[in-house]
Amino acid sequence: MIIGYCRVSTDGQSLEGQQSALLSAGANKVFAEKQSGAKTDRKALAKAISALSSGDVLLGTRLDRLARSTRDLLNVMATISEKGAGFRSLADPLIDTTSPHGKLILAVLGALAEFERSMILARTSEGRARAQARVPSKAQPRLSSPTAAPKDWATPIHRAIEDGVENGDGAEHERP
């Protein structure tokens, strides 16, 4: 059986074109929703996957309608695979997990996603270590204004303002 899934992000978009394309491509049933792809708890997608049996195919119009991120895509694909089903994309013919070539492409995408994740973790750890190295052992007090600093923290200019200075006109200027 071929189960179709289509999604648009906003109310201003129409599902009709996607539904028509899926039905024309042989979908027996189409699950549709208006939901952001950034959300992973899409009800119509969950129902479409639940309707899959071994040997079935989930058909989408484009890969970006199924998932927004690589990680989400791989999670969805794993769930479909656990059901013994496959996935095909109308607009992305290389994405067809019912064929050996499609499975290869998905495996490469998975490897790239794993590599990307490990690079993010490495950069995050390095950034955290640099940030911790910059933090003094005791927290420095926050100053409400440049002249509010205690004299031992103040720069020479702040101390001059604190003590009053002459600006060359002979008048003494006090701190406001």
Query: Minimal CA–CA distance to 98: which of 163, 54, 164, 150?
Result: 54
CB 30 within 8 Å of CB 16: no
- List residues with catalytic annotation: 9
For every residue of 97-157, DSSP letters joined together read TTSHHHHHHHHHHHHHHHHHHHHHHHHHHHHHHHHHHHS-SSPPPPPSSGGGS-TTTS-HH
What sign has the CA pseudo-torsion 35, 36, 41, 44? positive
Question: CB within 8 A of 104, min separation 6: which ones?
Answer: none
